[in-house]
Structure 1
Amino acid sequence: MTQTAAETRSVVVEREIPYPPAKIWRALTQPHLIAEWLMKNDFQPVVGHGFKLSADWGSVDCEVKTVEADKTLSYTWAAYGLESVVTWTLTPTGTGTRLRMEQAGFRTDQEQAYQGAKHGWQQFFGQLEQVLARAG
């Protein structure tokens, strides 16, 4: 049986963060800051740039798809048979920014990856908020 787009799932995490979009954007796009909350990397906010995220458990192959400063960032996320796309959306609010992350493309037979991402992104968001609090 072949998979269709309707048979994939997404992990979505959305939080209201009390910082302006430009500050959060830096944490999403500067390699030394990404390393503090996500993984070691050779990221550049340039469409078409291939980069690698690496941790003690392995690595993720990525390619930048969309860069719209302080608004939207997306990149592919390929690891262990998972082919997905991570999209960050920053929306200014009266008190800061609504930050939304969606990782789309989990097939129905990738339950372990899906559950791992649901858990992992909650942790990454917590670490991101700590980095933002320190970054001044």
Structure 2
Amino acid sequence: MNAESQSEAASDVLEFEYDLAEPPEKVWRALTVPELLAAWMMPNDITPEIGNRFAFAATDAVIECEILDAEPERLLRYSWREQAGGAARQDPLDSVVTFTLARTVSGGTHLRIVHDGFSRKAMPAVVMAGAGCRLSLGLRGAAKPIAANTPRLVPRAA
């Protein structure tokens, strides 16, 4: 892979890491229980079993997903295919979201989120779409975007 290809691949990935006070069990529930996930993300019908399909219902788009990998309290990976207005777009956003959870020494969770598969042209729209997402897991200090749609994690939901 040449330097230009590596740069293009890197630009297609959003990666964030956080140390949270909540234990992995609680963070896992916030990621996999439909009502809790809806509290910080969007209405959904997630079931964290490999091969299950689910959808997020945004006001101006439907996001179709499929569970690619699920290890309770450790790993959740799903495809993310965004359809504008509920209909197929010419260039739908096809990507993969991966949440990796690890227990910290203090009993909290080290959360790593990787959202990859963006094209350069999709990135501005994805960043702007974050206005509707409200996820926050007690992040103290400066708020940082966590995934492509800039959620803020909420611990009370789990």
TM-score calculated relative to the size of structure 2: 0.72
Report the counterpart of residue 108 of structure 1 in structure 2: 120
CA offsets per residue over residues 90-136 of structure 1, 9 Å max, x none? 0111231111111000123323245347x569853466632x2354x
Distance change (3 Å), C-alpha of 1:121 and 1:89? farther
More strand by share: 1
For 1:71 and 1:124, the matched residues in 2 are separated by 19
Question: Does the residue aligned with 2:135 lie in a helix, a strand or coil?
Answer: helix
Question: Does the residue aligned with 1:40 lie in a helix, a strand or coil?
Answer: coil
1:92 paired with 2:103, answer yes
Task: Give how far 1:38 is off.
Answer: 0.7
CA offsets per residue over residues 30-87 of structure 1, 9 Å max, x none? 0110111111001101111111101212220000000001000000001141100000
Runs of 4+ deviating beyond 2 Å: 5-8, 108-111, 113-117, 119-130
What is the alpha-carbon root mean square deviation over aligned residues? Answer: 2.5
Higher-Rg structure is: 2
Stretches of structure 2 lacking an aligned partner (at least 5 in a row): 84-91, 138-150
Report the counterpart of residue 153 of structure 2 in structure 1: 129
Flag the structure with more relative contact order, 1 or 2, with Cα contacts below 8 A and sequence separation at least 6. 1
For 1:55 and 1:122, the matched residues in 2 are separated by 10
Identical residues among aligned pairs (%): 34
Q: Could you tell me whether the CA contact under 8 Å between 1:60 and 1:77 is conserved in 2?
A: yes
Instruction: Please tell me the residue identity of whatever aligns with 1:129.
Output: L
Instruction: Please tell me the residue identity of whatever aligns with 2:124.
Output: Q
Question: Does the residue aligned with 1:35 lie in a helix, a strand or coil?
Answer: helix
Distance change (3 Å), C-alpha of 1:56 and 1:17? same
Report the counterpart of residue 47 of structure 2 in structure 1: 44
Q: Could you tell me whether the CA contact under 8 Å between 1:90 and 1:98 is conserved in 2?
A: yes
TM-score calculated relative to the size of structure 1: 0.82
Report the counterpart of residue 82 of structure 1 in structure 2: 93
More helix by share: 1
